[in-house]
Amino acid sequence: MKQQLTRVAVCIIAILLGCNIQAAKKVFTLGDSTMAPYDVNTTKMRGWGMYFGNFLTHGWVSLNYAKGGRDSRAGYNELWQNAKDSVGSGDYVLIQFGHNDEKFNGMDNQELQTFYATQGNDAQLATVRKDKRGTIPHSTYKEWLRKIIREVKAKGATPVLISPVCRCYFGADHKITRAGQHDLGDKFDALHQDTIMTQQHIDSDNHDMDYPYHMRQLAKEEHISFVDMTTATKNLYEQYGSFDACYAALFDKGTTTDKTHYNKKGAMAAAQLCAQLLKEQGILAKHITIPTETKHAYDAVVSTTAELCHAIAAANSRKDQQTRYRILVKKGTYKMPTGAMKHYKHTGKDRTTVLWEGDLPDPITYITAANLSLIGEDRDATIITQDISNDSSMLFKGPFGTAHKYETIRYSPVFQLTDAAVGTYFQDITIKSGIEDRLGRNLAVYDCATNTIYKNTLLYGYQDTWTSSNEQGLYYFEGGQVRGRTDYLCGKGDAYFNQLELLQIAGGYTAVPSKPKNVGWVFKNCTISASGNDVDGTYTLGRPWGKATPVAVFIDTRMNVKPTTLGWNEMHDGWPARFAEWNSRDCNGVTIETAGRKTIFANSHENNPTLTEKEADTYSNMNRMFGDWQPTDDTKQAAIPVDIRVNAGVLTWSKSYDTWLWAICKDGNVIDFTEQPTYTAKQAGIYSVRAANPMGGLSAPSATVTVTL
C-alpha cells in the first residue's frame, strides 16, 4: 500500500511539472529492511531508501521497492517482479541484499529443504520452508543477484550493486567485527552430503563466506558498478569511537536493542553516504547534490541585553532561514526592552464595559523566522525577562481584582513565536514573565509556531505561562520546569511533555488544552512539585477549554503534591475528549487511586479518568504524535568530553563524532570555542570543556584540569 501511494505521489509530481511519469528519470531501490520504507506514525525505525531521493535533482525521483525480511532470492522472485514493469530505458536500479541471505548461517534455504525432506525431518523442513530465506555467498547469492542484473540490463536500465550496510557489531577493539561486515567466516554452517557441519571457521583472508566480497566479484563479472556501503558504514560507525556512542546516534529507537535497523538520523546518514559514493564514482553524478555542512561558531554569543536584541533581530531578518541560527546567551539577567507604542483595551466580563484603555510600549520580543536556537549557558543563571514596571501606574481594577495593564494572552508574553518561527529550539534557559503573580495572565511564551522544542528550560509565570495557539502545532518538552497556578499550560495543537517538572502554586489548574492536531497533550514521566506552601490537595490537573476536543493524559507521573480527589475541573460549559491518568504515584512511590476522579463534565458528558495499560502505551508512543519529526534526534546531547589532559598550556581531549563544536570553560564560565579537540590556554585557571550538539545545546562540563602559565 505504501509503495502504491509513493508511486501515485510521484505521478502527481510529474504531472505538476508538466510531464508524465514515463518521461521522468527514476532510481529504483531493491533491498531489505535496512533500505525499506516505514510508517513514520508507528515506529522510529527508518530505511535509508526513504531518504535517498532527497539527494536527487533535475527531476529525478526515487522509488523504494525494498521490503523487510527479503534476501536475494526474494529480491528476484518478489521485489524485482513488482518493480520491473515500471522500469524503463535510462533508469537506474540500486540492488542491496545480504542481511537476510545470512539466515541459516550461510546455508541455502532450498538446499536445506531438500536435505530435511530426504532426512524425513518434517519439523525442520516446515521451519525452513516457512522462513524462505538463506543463500550461500559464493554460489546461490550471486546467482539470484545475477538474474536481477541481467533483466535490468534487458530493460535498458542500469543496475548498480550496493553492498549491505554494516550491523552495529563492535568488538573489544572498538572496531566493527567480521560478522558485522557480513563475512560469516568466523562462525558459519555448511551442508556437506548427509550432514550439517556447524560452527565452522576460516581464516580472515578466506572470503568464501563474505557476502560483500562476492557481490564485488559479481559486479566485475557483469561489468557493472559496485558501491561499497559495507566499508563506508564501517568507517562511519567507528568514527563514534564505541558501540554506545554509535548506537545512541544511529540506531537507538527507544525500544529493545536492535543493532541492525536505523533510526531517522542513521537512515539519513546512510542515504547520504550512498549518494556521495555514487557521485564520487560518476554514477548519476550530475543529478546528485550533497549538502555541505561544516563546524563553525555560534552565529552570536551575547552577554548584554542589547547584544541579545541585536542577535534576535539578525536571526529574524536573515534571508537563509533553512540554515539554523544559533545564539548562545551567557549567564546573566536580560531585561528585554519594550518596543513600539500599541493601543491596549481591557473590558469587563460582559466584554463591553471598558475597564482601562490606553497606549503603552509593546513588551513582547517576537521571533519571526524559522530555525532559531536560543541556548543558555546555565539554565538557572541565564534569565530572560521584561523591563516593565509593576507599580500602581501599571495596574487597574480588572474583573477578577487588581490586574496589570499588560495582562492577557496577546499583551503579556516575554516571547511570541509567530507562525513563521518553525523549528525554534530553546535549551538551558529561564524565561520569566515581568508581570508579578496574581495580576492576571502573564505568559513566558506565546507559541503560534510548530515544531518547537523546549529542552531543560524554566518557563516562569502565574497564569497561562506557556500558551500555544496553533491547532496544527507540534511541541516537545524534555526535562526542565514550568511554573504557574492557573492554566499555566494552555492552548492548542499536540504537545508531548517528557520528564517535565510542573511547579504548582496552591489552587488552580495545571493543563488547559483546547483543540489538538491529532493526539492532544501527553505528560510522560513528569513530576508535579510545589511552588510555595500549602499546595497538596488544592489544585486540579486541568480543565477543558472546548467542547469534546481537549485531551490531556498523565502517564507515570510522580505527584510530590497531589491534586484534589476529583483531579479535574470544569471550565465554562466545556468537556474533554479524554482526561485520564495511568500509574500516578505519590512522593513515596505509592500508587494514587483514581476511583474518585471526575467522570461527568458540563452536567452530562462522561469521561473515563483511568487509562488502560494498552492506552497508556499508545499515548506514550511519540511517533503517533510527531510522525517523521523526531525531536529527540535534536535534543540528543553530544557526549561529555573525556580524557581531558593539559601539557604546557595545551588542552586535548577525545574526539566525538557527534559534536558540533566545543566550548572552553575557565573557572566555570564559557570563554571560547574550538572546532578541534585541542585548545591553547591563554591564562592560568581551572579549565573544562563542554560539547555542543548540532542544535547548539551544551553538554555538562568535562572533568577539570588546572593550567599554570
Q: What is the pLDDT of residues 578-593, one digit of tens each?
A: 999 999 999 999 999 9
Report yes or no: 84 and 151 within 8 Å, Cβ to Cβ. yes
pLDDT tier for residue 363 given thresholds of 50, 70 and 90: very high
The pLDDT assigned to 194 comes to 82
Q: Is the pLDDT of residue 506 over 80?
A: yes
Span 516-539, pLDDT tens digits = 999 999 999 999 999 999 999 999
Check pLDDT > 60 for residue 631: yes
pLDDT tens-digit profile of 308-341?
Answer: 999 999 999 999 999 999 999 999 999 999 999 9
Helices 211-222, 140-154: axis angle to 10 degrees equals 40
Distance CA 242, CA 253 (A): 18
Q: What is the mean pLDDT of residues 251-259?
A: 86
**Averaged pLDDT score across all residues of the chain:** 94
Position 96 scores a pLDDT of 98
Nearest Cα to 36, choosing from 356, 228, 271, 196? 271
Q: What is the mean pLDDT of residues 92-114?
A: 95
- Which is more confident, 15 or 227? 227
The stretch 507-522 carries a mean pLDDT of: 97
> What pLDDT was estimated at residue 10?
46
Is residue 602 within 8 A of residue 574, CB to CB? The reply is yes
- With cut-offs at 50, 70 and 90, classify the pLDDT of residue 255: confident
Structure confidence at residue 362 (pLDDT):
98
pTM: 0.82
- C-alpha cell, 112: 536445506
pLDDT band at 5 (very low <50, low <70, confident <90, very high): very low
C-alpha dist (Å) from residue 84 to 17, 91, 345, 356, 504: 24, 11, 68, 73, 62
Q: What is the pLDDT of residues 193-220, one digit of tens each?
A: 789 999 999 999 999 999 999 999 999 9
**Cell triple for 98:** 545480504
Higher pLDDT, 240 or 577: 577
Segment 7-22 mean pLDDT:
44
Q: Is the pLDDT of residue 643 over 70?
A: yes
Query: Given the DSSP bridges, would you call strands 650-652 and 645-647 parallel, antiparallel or unpaired?
Result: antiparallel
Q: Is the pLDDT of residue 382 over 50?
A: yes
Distance of CA 314 to the CA centre of its chain: 27
How would you class 679 by CB atoms within 10 Å of its CB: exposed for 0-12, middle for 13-18, buried for 19 or more? Answer: buried
**Which cell is 598 given?**
471526575
Choose among 193, 184, 204: nearest CA to 105. Answer: 184
Check residue 256 and give its pLDDT. 77
The pLDDT of residue 453 is 98
Q: What percent of the chain has pLDDT over 70?
A: 96
- Residue-level pLDDT at 709: 86
**Spatial distance between the Cα atoms of 469 and 323, rounded to a whole number of angstroms:** 25
Give the C-alpha separation, 688 to 103, whole Å: 49
The confidence band for 296, taking pLDDT boundaries of 50, 70 and 90, is low
Please check whether residue 543 is in contact with residue 520, taking contact to mean a CB–CB distance below 8 angstroms.
no
The candidate with the shortest Cα–Cα distance to 454, out of 427, 429, 490, 422, is: 427
Average pLDDT over residues 184-199: 91
How many helices (DSSP H) and strands (DSSP E) are in the chain? 15, 44
245-254 mean pLDDT: 88
- Please report, rounded to a whole number, the percentage of residues in the chain having pLDDT higher than 90: 89
Q: What is the pLDDT of residues 19-64, one digit of tens each?
A: 444 456 999 999 999 999 999 888 999 999 999 999 999 999 999 9
pLDDT score recorded for residue 294: 55
The residue among 656 and 636 whose pLDDT is bigger is 636
Is 602's pLDDT higher than 90? Answer: yes
Angle value at C-alpha 77, between 72 and 83, nearest 5 degrees: 95
Band of the pLDDT at 184, cuts 50, 70, 90?
Answer: very high
- pLDDT mean over 227-255: 91
